[in-house]
Amino acid sequence: MGINPDFIGNIEKGTRILLLDGVTVSFDGFKALNSLSLTIDYKELRCIIGANGAGKSTMMDVITGKTKPDSGQVVFGKAVDLLELDEPQIAELGIGRKFQKPTVFSNHTIFENLELSMQDDKRFFKTLFAKLKSFQKDKIEETMKLIGLHEHAFKKAGTLSHGQKQWLEIGMLIMQNPKIMLVDEPVAGMTPHEVEKTGEILRELSNEHSVVVVEHDMEFIRSLASRVTVLHEGSVLAEGSMQNIQNNEKVRKVYLGE
């Protein structure tokens, strides 16, 4: 796509992969994001919390290029200006998003769903009848193990439980090998056992990718033991460990009315 690799830079664990600086998004004068600034490190697991309307989805829209801000900077890697790129270009660069509602191909097997996500060529039949290379097969196998669906490889996706569909969709995202994975409310509607398993999957994923999770479920966030960013009225109210956040005076004021 013609991005100078120097602009991406040498991305290593612990170095910054994403910067939002002073990002403002207005809808009819209302600021959904109000000079939002935050950074995400490579191979970091980060939770974003905040009440309804805090700006979480708008933030994801800005990162993925769906919404262009009125002002501010969004930088990927060392110096790739995401504001100059459109949605497909940003996806190609390695920023993937999983929406809340699973959108798997019900009439295809788990294996095929993963296979279809891997291919650049999205033409169904061409993809399904093309011969897989062994490294591609390995990647599918490895991903099925990671998302715990290995034993269901040849089951149709439509027969999976809600939780399993969510995992499959995480798997479909993995197949695109993104550097940053944005995951919106992954445990909504899951059983406690599924919630626990999802935490394991996300933690494991953060060994290979930066994972940004938007979530309401406090127990779940606590179990992830990651850095937490609290959004409030379109900016960062607090950031730190969950314990830090719970003891934060501003957070307590806003959320507990203290």
Ligand X SMILES: Nc1ncnc2c1ncn2[C@@H]1O[C@H](COP(=O)(O)OP(=O)(O)O)[C@@H](O)[C@H]1O
Interface residue list for Mg ion (CB under 5 A): 56-57
* CB closer to Mg ion out of 56 and 98: 56
- 240 interface partner picked from ligand X, Mg ion, none, CB below 5 to 8 A per type: none
Instruction: Report d(CA 8, CA 92) in Å as an integer.
Output: 13
Contacts of residue 143, Cβ cutoff 8 Å, sequence gap at least 6: 114, 171, 174, 175
CB 67 within 8 A of CB 61: yes
Among 10, 13, 27, 86, binds ligand X (CB under 6 A): 27
Q: Return the structure tokens found at 173.
A: 């995202």
**Does residue 229 touch ligand X according to CB under 6 A?**
no
Q: Provide φ and ψ at 153, rounded to 5°.
A: -50, -40
- 232 interface partner picked from Mg ion, ligand X, none, CB below 5 to 8 A per type: none
**Does residue 9 touch ligand X according to CB under 6 A?**
no
CB 67 within 8 A of CB 9: no
Instruction: Report d(CA 238, CA 90) in Å as an integer.
Output: 28
Write down the least CB distance from residue 48 to ligand X, Å.
9
| Binding string, residues 38-77; x marks residues near ligand X by CB under 6 A | ------------x-xxxxxxx-------------------
Q: Is 69 exposed, middle or buried (0-12, 13-18, 19+ CB in 10 A)?
A: buried
**Does residue 19 touch ligand X according to CB under 6 A?**
no
Write down the least CB distance from residue 3 to ligand X, Å.
28
**Does residue 157 touch ligand X according to CB under 6 A?**
no
- 134 interface partner picked from ligand X, Mg ion, none, CB below 5 to 8 A per type: none
- 211 interface partner picked from ligand X, Mg ion, none, CB below 5 to 8 A per type: none
Write down the least CB distance from residue 10 to ligand X, Å.
33
* CB closer to ligand X out of 32 and 254: 32
Report DSSP state, residue 158: G
- 148 interface partner picked from ligand X, Mg ion, none, CB below 5 to 8 A per type: none
**Does residue 32 touch ligand X according to CB under 6 A?**
yes
> Helix (H, G, I), strand (E, B), or coil: what is residue 98?
strand
- 36 interface partner picked from ligand X, Mg ion, none, CB below 5 to 8 A per type: none
Strand order in the sheet with 16-27: 30-41, 16-27, 71-76, 80-81
Instruction: Report d(CA 148, CA 155) in Å as an integer.
Output: 13
Q: Tell me which residues touch ligand X (CB under 6 A).
A: 27, 32, 50, 52-58
